[in-house]
């Protein structure tokens, strides 16, 4: 029985890594669609989320529940399966947020296709650092899971405040521009929403890393990591 569950746990680990890879690729495409002002790529992101990613998320959940019922695991095996269940949900939410960013690209395009495609609608450069940091957090979150690297998981958690500050700075700048030029309100409000989505993605990465620490060490560190 123990040997059988170890084989199945390894398969489950591969499933969640495959889901994470799909989510990361879709997130990067959403950012690319925004920078490139590409509504067609944005539609691909949304379609992938509603199809492939949602399907994989359900498959992982069903497999976790099957293993719990069939093997009644204990100790480390139980922690692993419970952690995967929680990570599965966080990954699905990150996928939804990537699709939400893609949706904003489509909305911006629909507001004024000619203006959006031209140089008139610029994506502020300060978004670049926020995108880079959030994607870094996601990549290292998945690496921490694969290698059960708690040091890396802690490091990712400590970066969350930087993304929070970036979102706050972006919101402040966008609101100041709106005060000076109310005509840009609709456009800039969509960009504020993008920043909010990236902040939430970073939050989900933090959640996953806290669960990785629990999985590896049996310690619940939620609310106790010093930033």
Distance from C-alpha of 227 to C-alpha of 213, rounded to nearest angstrom: 16
Asked if 163 and 206 count as a contact pair (C-beta separation under 8 A), the reply is: no
Question: pLDDT tens digits, residue range 161-196?
Answer: 999 999 999 999 888 888 888 877 888 888 999 999
- Count the neighbouring beta carbons within 10 Å of the beta carbon of residue 49: 25
Give residue limits of the domains in the chain: 2-217
Residue 110 CA to residue 106 CA, distance in Å, equals: 6
State pLDDT tens for residues 88-147: 999 999 999 999 999 999 998 887 766 666 555 677 788 899 999 999 999 999 999 999
Lowest mean pLDDT: which of 117-121, 157-161, 211-215?
117-121
Distance CA(221)–CA(77), nearest Å, equals: 19
Angle between helices 2-35 and 39-48 (to 10 degrees): 160
The pLDDT tens digits for 77-94 are 899 999 999 999 999 999
Q: In the chain, what's the furthest Cα-to-Cα distance?
A: 68
Please tell me the pTM assigned to this model: 0.90
**Judging by beta carbons within 10 Å of its beta carbon (0-12, 13-18, 19+), is residue 145 exposed, middle or buried?**
buried
Return d(Cα 5, Cα 27) in angstroms, integer: 33
2-217 belongs to CATH 1.20.58.220? yes
């Amino acid at each position: 029985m123990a040997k059988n569950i170890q084989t199945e746990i390894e398969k489950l680990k591969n499933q969640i890594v495959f889901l994470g890879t799909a989510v990361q690729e879709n997130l990067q495409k959403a950012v690319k669609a925004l920078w490139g002002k590409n509504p067609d790529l944005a539609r691909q992101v949304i379609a992938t989320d509603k199809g492939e990613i949602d399907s994989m998320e359900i498959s992982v959940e069903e497999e976790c529940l099957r293993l719990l019922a069939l093997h009644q695991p204990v100790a480390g095996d139980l922690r692993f399966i419970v952690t995967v269940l929680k990570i599965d949900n966080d990954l699905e939410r990150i996928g939804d947020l990537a699709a939400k960013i893609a949706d904003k690209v489509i909305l911006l395009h629909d507001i004024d296709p000619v203006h959006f495609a031209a140089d008139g609608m610029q994506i502020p450069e300060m978004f670049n650092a926020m995108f880079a940091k959030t994607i870094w957090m996601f990549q290292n979150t998945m690496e921490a899971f694969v290698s059960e690297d708690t040091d890396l998981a802690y490091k990712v958690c400590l970066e969350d405040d930087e993304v929070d500050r970036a979102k706050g700075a972006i919101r402040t700048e966008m609101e100041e521009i709106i005060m000076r030029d109310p005509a840009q309100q609709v456009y800039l409000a969509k960009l504020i929403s993008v920043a909010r989505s990236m902040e939430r993605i970073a939050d989900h990465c933090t959640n996953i890393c806290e669960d990785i620490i629990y999985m590896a060490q049996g310690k619940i560190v939620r609310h106790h990591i010093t930033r």
